[in-house]
Amino acid sequence: MGIPVVQMANIVSIAKTIGANRIVPTVAIPHPLGDPLLSETEQRKLRHHRVGIALDSLKTNIEETTIFEVKE
Q: Residues interacting with other proteins, by CB under 8 A?
A: 1-10, 15, 17-22, 26, 29-34, 36, 43-44, 47-48, 50-52, 54-56, 58-66
Cβ at position 61, least distance to other proteins in Å: 5
Cβ at position 35, least distance to other proteins in Å: 8
Distance CA 57, CA 51 (A): 10
CA distances from 19 to 39, 55, 72 (A): 34, 19, 25
Distance CA 71, CA 4 (A): 23
Cβ at position 72, least distance to other proteins in Å: 14
